Chain A
């Protein structure tokens, strides 16, 4: 890992987004548990309460359901709240408000009202934290029409997609991953506001042999695997999805049309997950003759996160597994 004192890391990029939003837009405020002593959220919210005041950086009681409703209700009046869940697992207590209220508000009221609220949830796992402190539930939320779901991988996206999420008129689930907080870039360029609706998957590495598709930390795994495979003569194309709902698979389809091989990597569970969705969406859009090998997916096994260290090492996908899967795909060629 790079020296965090040089450049800007992922957590600091999120902090920069908050500072930009709170300084630029008076209707933006943020709320959640622990925001006046934000050690739960790494370096991503340090001193915001001191800079912008405790009326706009609101520390709340332990009431996920109702504080979430509180953010939604304020958004209906034109505010742009960011509600923070330092650990995604606890957000499940707010499911009714996110899924039944925010995501459906506009549709069920005939497009006459909308909830421009941002749910910022954090995937925070490893370190023997176990089943209820480790989950990556993005696929659940991506299943819900009306809820945009954003998963930044790059340091710049960590800042720019949070700003885009808050400026978007729809409810947005912004998910960052603590395992990315150490990633650094030399210097963040000045903010350019992006329209979230225009954001598409990005090709992070160009290659001709196999397409690796992922979001968030799984892109990090794919990039490392791609670097490891280069000396072996395997050229991986790595696609960072960035926005997983609505999911734009066109860039993935274009890539697989070129490489003929697809591996989807996801930090969530296998069944009904993001990796399966990517594979299905690609396969149904390509003629069967294009594929050189059956697509593969790398996901968590369908089990809760264990606590014990050796089991944890078995549980999470590694760079070596991604590289090996890519090798196996590249060893296959369509016959006939």
Chain B
């Protein structure tokens, strides 16, 4: 009898974390260090982060109840990156994002109406009801477009940066994407193009360690995405993405450099999403489950709580004022949810009318 053929055990995916404490959910729980910061700027940032948090939670409730049906990729827990980057931008800059884009949109637009109406698919939404959660635009605020092909919008952002360079007005392009997008070849092409053509583009990688259900340790030999930017000679900053102050300083430096010299930059900000890849539940990710311990600990690295505590400890915010801020924002959200429910759907004619600018179909 011949020996049965036994396949050898597959080699484990070789993985080594290179992010140190930034990837450790047990670290960075303390209130932020805000000495020397402008408290008014921080209070405004806190307010925008609370707007994002409450709006995402409202959408989660609507998804859970079945009222909102389009796929919603929620960014609860990731608010500081959007707010910390966007505070350095003007409406003449060009911001692009991917499937998890609500935070970036709200940080720029600073009002929940257009997003809430859009997730209901109503003609009063940001994309006139044609986009849903995944295709957003607010051109007058600098939000140029988002869509859910992973990494797909990055080359478009490179083109906006080329346009900015040709315009010679000092405007910049910013593209938000996740760690998963670094596994698409296009991102590597884009890093090379931005470096080669010297384009004023800020790459912002929100590294939340998961691409859909897959842990980064099963996808890459390292968790440090910015190594790809270094390979293309693009200047890199790596920060705790749940630290509004750290994000803001790093983004501010890179954006100022892009405006001054036209050079690209790469910001890697570590964070964690509290909810599943898509939808309203924490445990929705299929396949390889996230570790519950990690989630519990990451919630201790809450970007909002850490900023709020710092502002309270230093006397710039009272618990009562924070509660009032939350109530005011919640009331605005509730008002727009009610308005969205009764708003009209798009006119059937636009199904064909929006295909081409003129004539056509």
CA distance A89 to B88 in the complex (A): 42
Cβ–Cβ < 8 Å partners of B185 in chain A? 65
Is A7 interfacial (CB-CB < 8 Å)? no
Partner of B131, one of A79, A110, A114: A110
Residue of B nearest to A114 (CB): B357
Is A107 interfacial (CB-CB < 8 Å)? yes
CA distance A274 to B8 in the complex (A): 52
Which B residues from 90 to 146 make CB contacts under 8 A with A? 94, 125-131, 135-137, 139, 144-145
CA distance A261 to B128 in the complex (A): 47
CA distance A114 to B353 in the complex (A): 13
Partner of B163, one of A76, A114, A168, A246: A76
CB within 8 Å for A109 and B130 given contacts A65-B189, A73-B161: yes
CA distance A77 to B346 in the complex (A): 27
Stretch at the interface among A17-25, A98-106, A181-189, A224-232: A98-106
Is B49 interfacial (CB-CB < 8 Å)? no
Which A residues from 106 to 140 make CB contacts under 8 A with B? 106-114
CB within 8 Å for A66 and B189 given contacts A73-B159, A97-B152, A110-B130: yes
User: Would you give the shortest CB distance from B30 to chain A, in whole angstroms?
Assistant: 41
User: Would you give the shortest CB distance from A103 to chain B, in whole angstroms?
Assistant: 9
Cβ–Cβ < 8 Å partners of B186 in chain A? 65-66, 69, 96
Is A194 interfacial (CB-CB < 8 Å)? no
Partner of A145, one of B131, B192, B350, B355: B355
CA distance A237 to B8 in the complex (A): 69
Cβ–Cβ < 8 Å partners of A146 in chain B? 355-356
Docked-complex contact A145 and B160, CB < 8 angstroms: no
CA distance A326 to B178 in the complex (A): 58
Residue of B nearest to A111 (CB): B354
Cβ–Cβ < 8 Å partners of B350 in chain A? 110-111
Cβ–Cβ < 8 Å partners of B155 in chain A? 65-70, 72-73, 97, 101
Is A321 interfacial (CB-CB < 8 Å)? no
Docked-complex contact B152 and A96, CB < 8 angstroms: yes
Docked-complex contact B159 and A110, CB < 8 angstroms: no
Is B246 interfacial (CB-CB < 8 Å)? no
Is A220 interfacial (CB-CB < 8 Å)? no
Cβ–Cβ < 8 Å partners of B147 in chain A? 100-101, 108
CA distance A111 to B349 in the complex (A): 12
Is B7 interfacial (CB-CB < 8 Å)? no
Residue of A nearest to B135 (CB): A108
Which B residues from 347 to 361 make CB contacts under 8 A with A? 350, 353-361
User: Would you give the shortest CB distance from B156 to chain A, in whole angstroms?
Assistant: 4
Cβ–Cβ < 8 Å partners of A76 in chain B? 94, 144-145, 156, 159-160, 163
Cβ–Cβ < 8 Å partners of B158 in chain A? 66, 69-70, 73
Is A259 interfacial (CB-CB < 8 Å)? no
Chain B, 144-169, contact with A by CB distance < 8 Å: what is the 0/1 string? 11010100111111111111101100
User: Would you give the shortest CB distance from A113 to chain B, in whole angstroms?
Assistant: 6
Cβ–Cβ < 8 Å partners of A111 in chain B? 128, 130, 350, 353-354
CB within 8 Å for A108 and B127 given contacts A70-B155, A70-B193, A74-B166: yes
Is B342 interfacial (CB-CB < 8 Å)? no
Docked-complex contact A108 and B144, CB < 8 angstroms: no
Cβ–Cβ < 8 Å partners of A74 in chain B? 159-160, 162-163, 166
User: Would you give the shortest CB distance from B139 to chain A, in whole angstroms?
Assistant: 6
CA distance A70 to B129 in the complex (A): 27
Chain A, 187-206, contact with B by CB distance < 8 Å: what is the 0/1 string? 00000000001100000000
Is A49 interfacial (CB-CB < 8 Å)? no
CB within 8 Å for A197 and B360 given contacts A65-B189, A69-B156, A75-B159: yes
User: Would you give the shortest CB distance from A288 to chain B, in whole angstroms?
Assistant: 27
Is B196 interfacial (CB-CB < 8 Å)? yes
CB within 8 Å for A77 and B163 given contacts A109-B145, A169-B358: yes
User: Would you give the shortest CB distance from B90 to chain A, in whole angstroms?
Assistant: 15
Cβ–Cβ < 8 Å partners of B161 in chain A? 73
How many A residues, CB 8 Å from partner? Answer: 44
User: Would you give the shortest CB distance from B182 to chain A, in whole angstroms?
Assistant: 14
CB within 8 Å for A70 and B159 given contacts A107-B355, A108-B147: yes
Cβ–Cβ < 8 Å partners of B164 in chain A? 77
Docked-complex contact A69 and B357, CB < 8 angstroms: no
User: Would you give the shortest CB distance from A52 to chain B, in whole angstroms?
Assistant: 14
Is B190 interfacial (CB-CB < 8 Å)? yes
CA distance A72 to B152 in the complex (A): 12
Cβ–Cβ < 8 Å partners of B129 in chain A? 110
CA distance A334 to B173 in the complex (A): 65
User: Would you give the shortest CB distance from B102 to chain A, in whole angstroms?
Assistant: 16
Docked-complex contact A63 and B189, CB < 8 angstroms: yes
CA distance A86 to B160 in the complex (A): 24
Docked-complex contact A73 and B130, CB < 8 angstroms: no
Most chain A CB inside 10 Å of its own CB: which residue of B155, B159, B355? B159
Is A177 interfacial (CB-CB < 8 Å)? no
User: Would you give the shortest CB distance from A261 to chain B, in whole angstroms?
Assistant: 29
Cβ–Cβ < 8 Å partners of A96 in chain B? 149, 152, 186
Residue of A nearest to B125 (CB): A110
CA distance A70 to B164 in the complex (A): 12
Docked-complex contact A197 and B163, CB < 8 angstroms: no
Is A266 interfacial (CB-CB < 8 Å)? no
User: Would you give the shortest CB distance from A121 to chain B, in whole angstroms?
Assistant: 18
Docked-complex contact A73 and B163, CB < 8 angstroms: yes
CA distance A168 to B358 in the complex (A): 9
Residue of B nearest to A55 (CB): B166
CA distance A211 to B161 in the complex (A): 50
Docked-complex contact A113 and B152, CB < 8 angstroms: no
CB within 8 Å for A106 and B144 given contacts A72-B156, A77-B94: no
Is A4 interfacial (CB-CB < 8 Å)? no
Could you jot down 22 A-B contacts, CB within 8 Å?
A63-B189, A69-B190, A73-B156, A73-B160, A73-B163, A73-B173, A76-B94, A76-B159, A77-B163, A96-B186, A101-B153, A101-B155, A108-B135, A109-B130, A110-B127, A110-B354, A111-B128, A112-B139, A113-B145, A146-B356, A197-B358, A246-B356
Q: Pick the 9 closest A-B CB pairs, nearest first.
A: A73-B159, A69-B155, A110-B128, A77-B163, A66-B189, A169-B357, A63-B189, A70-B159, A73-B156
Tell me the A residues contacting B by CB distance below 8 Å: 29, 55, 60-61, 63, 65-79, 81, 96-97, 100-101, 105-114, 145-146, 148, 168-170, 197-198, 246
